[in-house]
Structure 1
Amino acid sequence: MVHSLEKKALLICAVLFSSSLPAAPTASLYSTVFSILSYAKWNTAAPAVCAVNNPPLAQQLLINAPDHSNYRISAIQSNEIKTSACQILIFSTLSPKEEQYLLNTAATFPALSISTNNAECEIGSAFCLYKRSQNFAFKVNLESLTQARVHVDPRVLLLAKSVESSK
């Protein structure tokens, strides 16, 4: 029944908000990623973060991870997604169509997806980071977020609404 209530709450949010919502900016790409992840509930104490096709990004995530975080951060190639145990997929080199294809064919859910190369956020990843002035912000793709099957605190959507209404 709780799962049913969560689905209903997410659907209500989907009706109230557009399918792609921007959220409050933060100073760095890495702080934005870890801020988003802090709103998610994981079924494991040490969720696996996988930077897809970008080993330098994985290295920077390791360097910039919050103190005392339990994330297991690694780099994988897109052809390894299906056999990986990634709860978080971070895309940075693929097109939105390529992201969507991999999410539909290779990802094992629950898995949250984040993109640094998908400014429109209409297809592909659930969260899409973009540069706004000197900061990073993100948009939420509600359809992909629902597909992810990861419980994400709805305050992320409220952040998006407050930024949208202040434009």
Structure 2
Amino acid sequence: MQAQPQLNLPATTLTILSYVRWNTPNPISLCILNNNQLSNQFIQVNQQLKSAYQIQAVSLSELNQVMCNAVFFSTYTPREEQNIINNLKDAPLTFSSNNTECELGSAFCLYQNKTRTSFKVNLASLSQSQARVDPRVLLLAKSTEP
């Protein structure tokens, strides 16, 4: 299942990342899993926003061999996401555009809400990440709910 490209998806994700305190030195690496088209969109928006994130497209087989502070899922079910996350050697911050319920799998679940990109937060997944997210992001998630 291929996610539809959404122009606000990269900008929203990069904005959320700007609220994260990392325990590692810069640059922060965001891995886009199995979606080269979406990876290219992220690279373009990253350049437009003059963000310092390192964006890279990775395949599932490469995921444990590259450094990813954050991982973006767009082609997996929530259950598949959870299985992949459970098998990662590190605990990256996780995002998904294919997980509207956000009850398992990724920490941040982005979805199209009328004309804008909104998101939900899975607190259980977020607590497993090594990243420290500013609590104001949780308020942003609540304010985007319909």
Is TM (by shorter chain) over 0.5?
Answer: yes
Quick one: which of 85, 100, 121 aligns to 1:119?
Answer: 100
Quick one: which of 23, 26, 33 aligns to 2:13?
Answer: 33
Counterpart position of 1:106: 88
- What's the TM-score, normalizing by structure 2? 0.88
Q: In the TM superposition, what whole-angstrom CA distance separates every residue of 1:81-101 from its partner, at most 9, and x where no partner exists?
A: 111100010000011111100
The structure-2 alpha-carbon separation of the partners of 1:96 and 1:81, relative to structure 1 and needing over 3 Å to count, comes to same
Structure 1 residue 163 displacement after superposition: 4.2
Structure 1 residue 121 displacement after superposition: 0.4
SS in 1 for 2:111: strand
Counterpart position of 1:90: 72
Quick one: which of 55, 61, 71 aligns to 1:73?
Answer: 55
- What's the TM-score, normalizing by structure 1? 0.78
Name the CA distance, whole Å, in 2 between partners of 1:159 and 1:88.
19
Does 1 or 2 have the higher relative contact order (CA < 8 Å, sep 6+)? Answer: 1
Q: In the TM superposition, what whole-angstrom CA distance separates every residue of 1:44-90 from its partner, at most 9, and x where no partner exists?
A: 21011100001111111000114332111110011211111000100
C-alpha RMSD of matched pairs (Å): 1.5
Greater Cα radius of gyration, structure 1 or 2:
1
Stretches of structure 2 that go unaligned for 5 or more consecutive residues are 1-6
1:127 touches 1:141 (CA, 8 Å); kept in 2?
Answer: yes
Structure 1 residue 114 displacement after superposition: 0.3
1:81 touches 1:107 (CA, 8 Å); kept in 2?
Answer: no
1:46 equivalent in alignment to 2:33: no
